[in-house]
Amino acid sequence: MNNLYKWGLAGVLLVSASSCKKFLQEEIVSEVSYSLYTTEKGIEGALTSAYNTMRAGVSSERALTFSDAGTDLFTLGSDGNPAFNQYLATLSSLEGKTTSYWDWNYKGISECNVTVTYLPKVTMDEKRKVQIEAEAKFLRAFYYFNLVQHFGKVPLIMESNDKVVTSYKRAAVKDIYASIITDLQFAFNNLPIPAAAQGRATKAAAAHLMAKVYLVKASARSAKQRELRGSTATDADSVIAYASKIVNQQLGAYSLVADYAKLFDVTNQVNSEVIFSVQFTNTLLNNGSGNQQHLYHVPQYDAVNTKILGRSTEYGRPYRRVRPTPFVYNGLFGATRKFDSRFAKSFVWGYIANKASAGIVTTAGNKIDVKVGDTAVYFSPVYYNTPTELTAATQSNNRYAVYYPLNTYLPLSMNYIFPGLRKFLDGTRPTTNEVNGGRDWMVYRYAETLLLLAEGYGLKEDYTNAAIYINKVRERAAYKEGELKTTQYWTFEGGNFADRLKSTVADMEVKPAGIAINFTDFMLDERGREMIGELNRWEDLVRCEKLVERVKLHNPDAQNIRDYHILRPIPQTHIDRLDPAGPISEEQNENYY
């Protein structure tokens, strides 16, 4: 155990069940000592603790703040963190969220190291023993991949210590990537194809993460970044090799869920697209702090038309930490948004009255009766230049709905109201104010595998193959024959009402020549369209060396961003623990001291 961070020995040891969807169960253990880890029960508990620590990414704002805030797709919500969203001077080594993110990942690494270090001392089934090591190394790779992308050089700790160590030095970025790859190679070679239980690592999960790691190395454009990451001429080939194993169904029968909306249905969490997910449960006693991702993308819808619209489990509790940038509506989807069902299905465009009220006075002075089921708040990417009421001329049953256009930038003074991201809403919560959510965190999914494979080919300038795999994702995103399009298609987007049930598959298809013109930006856009809000955006921008450029171009609230913001500050709490500590230039990232 790495006592640099003094995690201590857990009073609650988590052990795994052999066959159930929610495999994490708690067993109270008292008087725990290191000798416990030399037993089969103890080593299984150490591994399960390493899994359980993954939950912390979404049981608070750790992953959201680090991956979505202050990007080209998300900016400051009215209750968000200004330091990360606007790159203020307070984004420093003293920022608590930076410490929290660092500690989360090193806690997981510590638990993985305990597992790997003590495993040789355990007498147990040898096959299971190898699988435990493979699972622990997969998880350790996951945690180090988080750290190296955000902090660059970090201490590379690969074994457990039972004494306090305070002299850790930061390892070179390329050495950290090499260590991650070594762990993942062992994991890939020794993990099973079908999971032993839902939520455990598999061969496909290791292959997917390996493809992502190699893509970071292959994406480096400048000589400085290629040297820093240890990039080689074969990195893109490795992306293709590992992603292809999944796509060719060598590692299991993964496939796209036919309807993009069904992919995020809370009742459909175990489906053909999930490669790896972190498990939660609706049994609050066993759920820790729960998956709280359902909170952060929700507008303050209950503060607009309070007489007819109150808070509901369906629409979520509005923490409004981030909101989409104008680019999401008018650039990311742009001209294709009327053909791309992801635009309609990713957001809540209309909030429906859940309270009836008689004699409501409109701004025009008319009195109307509002019924449950009438529209209370409605958003559109076009039409009006200021928020207004809908009138009978637009939609007769929406005469009291407040209408927010998104073809103009809504200023910071209005950053409490925006279309909520639908993907993480959790209507299974027992009450409207419950923050402890039971949704699984879908970390890796098959659509991303297809995009990884496409990007691998594109980096080799094989745009023909790249287009093949991009089009598999875009075909699912298109409206299918007989599927009713959103009303915006014919009311605001210029589509014909007669085509409301017509397929848009052909409209969504890309050609090799088209994606070759600016392939990196195209892939960033396509990943944004497919995976908006799925906790990977900041990392994508940094690996492509596009963070500063695209944030300045697309995020009006984050113009303070500077070149050095491609790394986060090393937490002061870590630096203060070091004894002896080197020069601050050695221990801290540039421009944070």
Cβ within 8 Å of residue 131, ≥6 positions away = 190, 191, 192, 196
Same domain, yes or no: 333 and 240: no
Cα–Cα distances in Å, from 149 out to 177, 371, 538?
A: 10, 51, 9
For the record, the structure tokens of 562 come out as 């500077």
Amino acid at the residue 445: R
Q: How far apart are CA 363 and CA 264, in angstroms?
A: 38
Number of domains in the chain: 2
416, part of any domain: yes
From 356, 253, 342, 231, select the one nearest 305 (Cα to Cα). 356
Cα–Cα distances in Å, from 560 out to 80, 91, 93, 476?
A: 17, 11, 17, 38
pLDDT of 494: 85
For the record, the structure tokens of 153 come out as 């050089």
Amino acid at the residue 34: Y
pLDDT of 32: 60
Same domain, yes or no: 275 and 179: yes
Beta carbons of 215 and 207 less than 8 angstroms apart: no
Same domain, yes or no: 203 and 153: yes
Q: How far apart are CA 493 and CA 480, in angstroms?
A: 18
Cα–Cα distances in Å, from 302 out to 78, 354, 417, 508?
A: 14, 10, 10, 36
500, part of any domain: no
Amino acid at the residue 82: P
For the record, the structure tokens of 330 come out as 């008018």
For the record, the structure tokens of 59 come out as 């049981």
Same domain, yes or no: 87 and 200: yes
Number of other CB atoms surrounding residue 139 within 10 Å: 23
125, part of any domain: yes
Could you tell me where the beta strands, DSSP code E, fall in 307-410? 322-324, 347-348, 350-352, 357-361, 367-370, 375-380, 388-389, 402-405
What 3-state class would DSSP assign to 64?
helix
pLDDT of 563: 98
What 3-state class would DSSP assign to 376?
strand
249, part of any domain: yes
Amino acid at the residue 105: N
Same domain, yes or no: 266 and 324: no
Buried b / exposed e along 62-98 (16+ C-beta atoms within 10 A): bbbbbbbbbbbbbbbbbebbebbbbbeeebebebebb
Same domain, yes or no: 274 and 305: no
Residue carrying the six token digits 């893509």: 215
Per-position pLDDT tens, the chain of length 593: 333 333 333 323 333 332 334 444 445 554 567 899 999 999 999 999 999 999 999 999 999 999 999 999 999 999 999 999 999 999 999 999 999 999 999 999 999 999 999 999 999 999 999 999 999 999 999 999 999 999 999 999 999 988 888 999 999 999 999 999 999 999 999 999 999 888 999 999 999 999 999 999 999 999 999 999 999 999 999 999 999 999 999 999 999 999 999 999 999 999 999 999 999 999 988 899 999 999 999 999 999 889 899 999 999 999 999 999 999 998 999 888 999 999 999 999 999 999 999 888 766 677 888 889 988 888 877 644 444 444 433 443 445 667 676 766 667 788 999 999 999 999 999 999 999 999 999 999 999 999 999 999 999 999 999 999 999 999 999 999 999 998 888 887 889 999 999 999 999 999 999 999 999 999 999 999 999 999 999 999 999 999 999 999 999 999 999 999 999 999 999 999 999 999 999 999 999 99
Same domain, yes or no: 189 and 309: no
Angle, helix 446-459 to helix 519-531, in steps of 10 degrees: 180
Angle, helix 96-118 to helix 126-151, in steps of 10 degrees: 160
- In angstroms and rounded to an integer, the radius of gyration of the C-alpha atoms of the chain is 25
Same domain, yes or no: 414 and 272: no
For the record, the structure tokens of 464 come out as 């023909």
What 3-state class would DSSP assign to 263?
helix
Beta carbons of 533 and 421 less than 8 angstroms apart: yes
Residue carrying the six token digits 């002896």: 580
493, part of any domain: no
* CA triple 408-413-414, angle to 5 deg: 55
Beta carbons of 562 and 591 less than 8 angstroms apart: yes
> Which among 377, 399, 428 is the end of a domain?
428
Same domain, yes or no: 136 and 88: yes
DSSP string covering 406-456, please? -SS---GGGTT-SPEE-TT--TTSSSTT-------EEEEEHHHHHHHHHHH
Buried b / exposed e along 547-564 (16+ C-beta atoms within 10 A): bbebbeebbebbeebeee
464, part of any domain: no
> Which among 404, 428, 452 is the end of a domain?
428
438, part of any domain: no
Q: How far apart are CA 368 and CA 211, in angstroms?
A: 58
Report the half-sphere exposure of 562 (CA within 13 A, side-chain side).
Answer: 10
pTM: 0.93
471, part of any domain: no
Beta carbons of 163 and 78 less than 8 angstroms apart: no
DSSP string covering 478-547, please? BPPTTPPPPTHHHHTS---GGGTTS--HHHH---HHHHHTTHHHHHHHHHHHHHTTSS-HHHHHHHTT-H
Find the DSSP H helices in 155-279: 173-190, 203-219, 223-229, 235-247, 260-263
Number of other CB atoms surrounding residue 518 within 10 Å: 11
pLDDT of 408: 63
Same domain, yes or no: 111 and 180: yes
Beta carbons of 231 and 448 less than 8 angstroms apart: no
Same domain, yes or no: 143 and 16: yes
What CATH number is associated with residue 118? Answer: 1.25.40.390
Same domain, yes or no: 190 and 316: no
Amino acid at the residue 560: N
pLDDT of 77: 96
> Which among 428, 451, 484 is the end of a domain?
428
Q: How far apart are CA 192 and CA 203, in angstroms?
A: 6
Q: Which domain holds residue 92?
A: 12-279+568-587
pLDDT of 470: 98
